[in-house]
Chain A
Amino acid sequence: MKPAARQPVTTTVQSTSIEGGRRDPLVRLPIIIAAVFLAAGNEDFGFDPAGYLDPFMHLGYFWHYPAHLPALDHDYKASRLPWILPGYVFHWLGDPAAASIVLVFATLAAGGVALYLLVRDIAQDRAAAAVSAAAWTSCTWAHGIGGWNYQVLAATDYFLVATWLAFRAATTGAASSAFLAGVCAAAAAHTHLQYATFVPLLALTFWSGLPGGTPSVQRLVRDGLWGLAGAIGITVALGAVNAASGGDWLFFMPQIVRAQYLMREDIWWLEARVWVPAATYLVVPVAFMIAALGVLFRTDPPERLRPKRTLIVQAWLALGIMCFTQFARRKGTLDQSFLAFPVYAYGFPCIGILLASRRNMPRSVVVAAASITAILVPLLLLMPATLPRVMTDAVTLFGATGLPPVVPPLAVALIGCTAMMVARGSARLIVFGLWFGLVNAWIAPAPSAYGIHTPGYRRQMVELFREADGLTTAFDPRLDGIKYWFPDNERIALPDADIPLGWIFDSYVSTRGWMGNLLGHASAVPLQKLTREDLQTAVCIGLLTSPRTSGQLEIAMQEHFAGLGVPLRRVTIRHLKSRSIAFDLTLLKPADAPQRFGPPCLR
């Protein structure tokens, strides 16, 4: 065959209606992207850094949910059952690294798939849905605070699925969709209570999907009741699990009590001037929402425009709710990155709506692929060092070094949005991929978690924590007999740089309730300030040190308490060591404590 005789092959990504074709291979895209990030071989990807408390407390629940329950059932963190129970099951099935990887993969992929389905069905444009889902799965803030050990990405996944199902219930009339929307909405609220304030917005989603004209009251009541049944059903099921595990039926009450307390006085609440200048985590969703305002002025066919416009309005309503809580009620909702993450639940659908073609115009699959490539390349090939260095140089070149950190990336994002809106047709997807890929990598909270085969320590740290956990659980099965201590001025050597030992200490002790198991009831009490009274609640002392100083600090601890009339003896010492990180854990107990049957540190 002569080359000239070949017919040109044009592959297009057809826009699709909800009743369209049954096969949709693009729905697999977020799954593939999540797998690519994990396969790139970054040891830090999906694992939390040393020094974090909350994710490691949650990790402790995954490891010891039944053991924690008697002590921590009234803790608001333990009441996030739609998230803690799957985490417990996966960690029970496999080793901690594998369980974390599977959970991170599942949360990233599930959110991307949900976003794809939502944008596809509302905007009726598969290319736009694919690009926005790729952006979601590649979003560096979702990786940072959305790793499975933090609850917000899982909650956002539940909410995105609920939003899609609510829209689907409206368009198809399927009672099962309404029921499942209720299930997912309740799961989102139980996982992160902020989503309870978004539940009324789901009613708007449902309304926007209803066929034209005034919906029948019968239809509204029927689907509303199905949704309610789903929400009550999952709540009762989780309550039954909690009660069967020895906890309360009303497992969700601690979160509500906590929220009420914080509404009265939130000691962590920050003034806007403190957090806004550094709030790079808001750059992407806010830029998306500002750009999407353009959709309100479009002249698409009215039937198609209603769900799109409704979604944009919902995004701003959601931000309004969070702003009201932050600024009027003075409860932190936007001043911390993980608290602000629900903004993403509507921010990303907004960009999908904006990217969608107005009238089912076919899109080249090559264009969509190029856009997705532009999103992925900076993370995989220009990180962890090249892109941050280039962007720092660029900021210096433009004389913007004195500006608050949030300004340069926001400026680039808004310029990118403007260019995107000026661009027509498929070019809009390319422009989006270029600016989002750049900004997304630039504002990454953990640049070291990207690139290909980047070394790290976080995964090894979790594996060492699990080894220490096995040791201390054997000696102290109820997890309250060992009180932990570390020398405040020590550092732990890593391949790249040292980190304070206290970061490792805080994260490890967080897996066993943290505050309740600190010797001296604080994280870094100087040795000389420890008293006999500090031993009253301790059967054993757990001494976390660097390998270099464990011997001398053990002696110093023994001399200190011998001086107080309580000589100590060593129960055991464990050298915890991996390729990148090492620390020692020594258990001591009063020398005159009676020898007794069973675990030596059991209270």
Chain B
Amino acid sequence: MRSRAVTRQLHLPVLAACIVAALLTPPRRSPDEQLRRRVLVNLRADPATAHLSLRLAMSSAVATISGQITDSAEHARALAVVEGTTGVMDVIDELTISDRVIVQRVKEAFLGDPTVGQIPVSVTAVAGEVTLHSDQTNDTQRRQLVQLATRVDGVVHVVDAMK
């Protein structure tokens, strides 16, 4: 019974004192959160980035932007918008071009080339690393296919698994 009485007596003054202590601390709205919101507003206001689904983290005015984009133009524009927001001091780039888009672009590049366009090639991509499979190629065609794939936006590395 007494411990309940003590608890009853304690919790109100403790709460009051905590509030006093909190009030004594100068009010601090999170500057990072405010900055993050400003950057997101700017990204949505820019026609080139408004449709993108991007994630943004802010830590001591360092923006980390991540998500999937379709080409290097979007990439450059998104980075420019983040860097151009007043208050952002550094940007960490974690934007990637989606593997599905990369595969599609590689296939389009192959089809558009008259020398290798008709060769059946299987294309897979994981985190920008593209792997080419085919058993109907010669050395010249393989070099050409690897070269075409390497030029595609977002391709980080090409693995030649062709025969």
Contact = CB atoms under 8 A, between A and B. Distances in A.
Partners in one complex: yes
B93 A597 contact: yes
A19 B2 CA distance: 8
A176 interface: yes
A168 B3 CA distance: 10
Interface string B18-43: 10111011001010100000000000
Contacts of A48: none
Interface string B88-105: 011011101000000000
Contact of A22 (B5, B20, B92): B5
Interface in A426-462: none
B9 A28 contact: yes
A470 B62 contact: yes
B5 A97 contact: no
A341 B20 CA distance: 29
A35 B21 contact: yes
A18 B2 contact: yes
A259 interface: no
Given A39-B20, A598-B92, A600-B92, A27 B62 contact: no
A475 interface: yes
A498 interface: no
A471 to B, nearest CB: 4
A27 B10 CA distance: 8
A475 B59 CA distance: 10
Nearest to A165: B3
A469 interface: yes
B48 to A, nearest CB: 21
A213 interface: no
Interface residues of A, number: 46
Contacts of B13: 28, 31-32
Contact of B3 (A95, A105, A174, A467): A174
A362 B80 CA distance: 76
A574 B60 CA distance: 10
A168 B6 CA distance: 13
User: Which bracket fits the contact residues of B?
Assistant: 20 to 34
Chain A, interface SS category: helix
B62 A31 contact: no
A98 B25 contact: yes
B14 interface: yes
**Which of A168, A172, A475 gathers most chain B CB within 10 Å?**
A475
A470 B89 contact: no
Interface in A397-414: none
Contacts of B32: 470
A35 B23 CA distance: 11
A466 B31 CA distance: 13
B156 to A, nearest CB: 8
A101 B25 contact: yes
A576 to B, nearest CB: 9
Contacts of B57: 474
Contacts of B17: 31-32, 34-35, 105, 109
Nearest to A602: B92
Interface string A467-497: 1111101110000000000000000000000
B131 interface: no
Given A474-B60, A474-B62, A101 B21 contact: yes
Nearest to B29: A95
Interface of B: 1-3, 5-6, 9-10, 13-14, 17-18, 20-22, 24-25, 28, 30, 32, 57, 59-62, 64, 89-90, 92-94, 96
21 contacts: A22-B1, A23-B9, A34-B17, A35-B21, A39-B20, A41-B24, A97-B25, A98-B21, A98-B25, A98-B28, A106-B18, A109-B14, A113-B10, A117-B6, A471-B62, A471-B90, A474-B57, A474-B64, A574-B60, A598-B93, A598-B94
Given A28-B13, A468-B60, 4 more contacts: A31-B14, A39-B24, A102-B21, A109-B17
* A-B residue pairs, 3 tightest by C-beta: A470-B60, A474-B62, A470-B59
